[in-house]
Structure 1
């Protein structure tokens, strides 16, 4: 009888904990072949003349893959790392290691699902099955109280029904050991240059925190946020902050690459509530996880409409004549509106921007500068360390008024926002040093 060998194709699930494809492969296979492909298409220039993945997120990805490799090695396994298209690489590995089945997690955005289909077709020619798992959301698709096509287009309706009629599954147990084929050729982690990415400047000391990729760092951050600093207790009051590590959880970068499971965060919230008490803040953090689910399910429902200027409303927002010039000023943080410029400079230097900042700069680009919202979404795709397609394009479509929005999106008054959220101008002064001489809150009115 032949040995059952299962290839585990890692993508945005770079973790050992709560990882069904790894746990199932270890349970069912006699040997497991863990693989990560650095797909060149991840690093190409888009039609918007932005990069698919900028230097900061690429570095975070490399750290995350390296951490996964170390974790697998501790379990007796290893990670095969290759540069190339999965539909070319995976069939080669299947043949080389006598693989009998391939496991992967389903994605929802069109580019990712197309690659899955290409892999499936290539494997089909070898009579090998690509088994799909669902593992990126808090609520499993099969546990929703409605079919995907009937999911409400208004978040509050979705939330009420989910909270009443659905429950979050328990996390999948982590494997205790991973057995790989003898003499498996793992390969080396590439450099930024190997991926065609120009090294960015070193880490900026002004960053809200030091983001380091990988499951190890993700679990450490989660533990610190809940149990060491108790910062989750004040999340609702501080989540619109701009300065420091603990005004929000900062879990998003790790969740985006699957270094941290949303379900793991959910059950940590529940554990915290049991031991230290439930509050508006713990519930607010849960709601952010639910919004992530919502956008993923909306992508499943509406597909490519999120990548069209008219969204699923059928009418594009008004656009101005000198868009290109205004877009460049916005990108560089040179619009002359301090609160906007400070946020864009933070994004460019660190790959991160607060939730409050994102809403303001997006509203400003679309409503004030009247620039094509898709340019902004593509720029965020390049720069954000926590980029994920559904969250990014879903939120931008929402701001542009062509996505999930029961009413026309509120037009932010940037000066009012600056006064409310940066009353003394500390944030603006941090990112626009040339404004040091301007005193107090007056800085937001320049």
Structure 2
């Protein structure tokens, strides 16, 4: 009998630890073929001329794929890297290496699911199965207290029922070995230039450098909890200390799983509650996209009362030229680093929608380009909430039109004011 080979198609799950598809493939197959495909679709230019993926995020992704390859090589395995349409690349590799089945983690946003469907259709013609796994949420879909179609649209109700009636699964074990076929051409990691992008320039004002990859993710995981017993997040915020975990870039492409973060939080009691809440919001947005699809954000159907000069105001917002110190500082930081705090994201989005009366979908698209930690469900879900175009009962941080009266100059970006907690944000939050 010939060896059984399973192709593991890595997408937004660039890790060895707590990776169910990798572990399952090792258990079910004689040989595993790890593959990552750089899809040109994600590096094209949009109708406005902007890059769909900005260079900060692209660099972070390249670093993460390189780290995944290095970690697999630690198991005497190899990662095949290709540039091309996955619907062409995956079937070609499946035929070349006599693959019996393909594993991947299921996505929920329409672009990602469309690509999966194209790959699945191409494999089906070869009589090969694309097996779907769920690995991007803290709570597993099968452990929710309701089917997807009955998930409450209200986050408050969702949170209450899930926390009361569901449990977070333990992380799956790390494989003790990974056996791969003999690989003739593993492929080279592309350069940013090959992806159509320029090398990003690291701003001297930036206080953090985000290094892509599971190795850096695990370092950051331990770093963000190192002092949690000594100083609570609330006290840090009052003293002007940045208390963000900054784990979102690694979570967004799966260098670390939400479950890994959750179980680390459990060691620190109530001090990790805010981070746990953020993870639950990520889950909620993904489940809302699974339940409603594109209807959740109603981007095509929403009717906005736009300002007459909305396009000009949008450009000023992008450039950080609104004249409002907090808004401009946050946008300067976003443009210079690819990252701003979660609170500041809510603030600048609310200002664009409620004060400038500009097109919220253009704001969401700009975040998609710029953010290192862009995740389709979280980004578009957040923007749709702020714009008020879905049926949910309350927003994550519904931004009022009035900004704080007193702004403090905290950094060289002019200002990175942050409330000490969500509830203490005052004028920025509606209960």
Q: TM-score, normalised by structure 1?
A: 0.89
Superposition pairs for residues 138-287 of structure 1, below 5 Å?
138-201=138-201, 203-226=202-225, 228-230=226-228, 234-238=232-236, 246-270=242-266, 272-273=267-268, 278-279=269-270, 281-287=271-277
What's 2:409 paired with? Answer: 425
What's 2:312 paired with? Answer: 325
- Cα displacement (A) at 1:254: 0.2
- Cα displacement (A) at 1:206: 2.0
**Contact 1:222 1:251 (C-alpha < 8 Å) held by counterparts:** yes
Paired residue secondary structure (1:431): coil
Paired residue secondary structure (1:36): strand
Paired residue secondary structure (2:6): strand
Superposition pairs for residues 339-354 of structure 1, below 5 Å?
339-354=326-341
What's 1:68 paired with? Answer: 68
- Cα displacement (A) at 1:237: 4.8
Q: 1:56 to 1:306 in 2, by over 3 A?
A: farther
CA distance in 2, matches of 1:406, 1:308: 15
What's 2:400 paired with? Answer: 411
Q: 1:293 to 1:355 in 2, by over 3 A?
A: same
Which shows bigger deviation, 177-186 or 407-416? 407-416
CA distance in 2, matches of 1:305, 1:391: 15
- Cα displacement (A) at 1:162: 0.4
1:104 to 2:88 alignment: no
What's 1:12 paired with? Answer: 12
1:357 to 2:344 alignment: yes
Q: 1:263 to 1:168 in 2, by over 3 A?
A: same
1:374 to 343, 361, 380: 361
1:386-425 Cα offsets, whole Å, 9 max, x none, are 1000000000001101136425844242243xx2xx4x32
What's 2:429 paired with? Answer: none
Q: 1:54 to 1:240 in 2, by over 3 A?
A: farther
CA distance in 2, matches of 1:232, 1:215: 27
What's 2:418 paired with? Answer: none
Paired residue secondary structure (1:426): coil
- Cα displacement (A) at 1:238: 4.3
Q: 1:144 to 1:407 in 2, by over 3 A?
A: closer
**Contact 1:352 1:384 (C-alpha < 8 Å) held by counterparts:** yes
CA distance in 1, matches of 2:260, 2:174: 12
1:299 to 2:289 alignment: yes
- Cα displacement (A) at 1:95: 0.7
Q: 1:93 to 1:2 in 2, by over 3 A?
A: same
CA distance in 2, matches of 1:96, 1:107: 26
1:256-293 Cα offsets, whole Å, 9 max, x none, are 000011000111111x23xxxx22x3122111110100
- Cα displacement (A) at 1:81: 0.3
Q: 1:249 to 1:101 in 2, by over 3 A?
A: same
Q: 1:22 to 1:155 in 2, by over 3 A?
A: same
Paired residue secondary structure (1:193): coil
- Cα displacement (A) at 1:51: 1.9
CA distance in 2, matches of 1:392, 1:160: 23
1:169-208 Cα offsets, whole Å, 9 max, x none, are 111101122111113421110000010112222x223223
**Contact 1:18 1:174 (C-alpha < 8 Å) held by counterparts:** yes
What's 2:87 paired with? Answer: 87
CA distance in 1, matches of 2:176, 2:206: 37
CA distance in 2, matches of 1:307, 1:213: 29
CA distance in 1, matches of 2:81, 2:278: 33
Structure 1: stretches of 5+ with no match in the other structure: 434-446
Q: 1:403 to 1:207 in 2, by over 3 A?
A: farther
Say which structure is richer in helix.
1
- Cα displacement (A) at 1:307: 5.0
What RMSD, in angstroms, separates the aligned Cα atoms of the two structures?
1.9
**Contact 1:236 1:284 (C-alpha < 8 Å) held by counterparts:** no
CA distance in 1, matches of 2:237, 2:353: 24
CA distance in 2, matches of 1:405, 1:356: 20
CA distance in 1, matches of 2:279, 2:329: 27
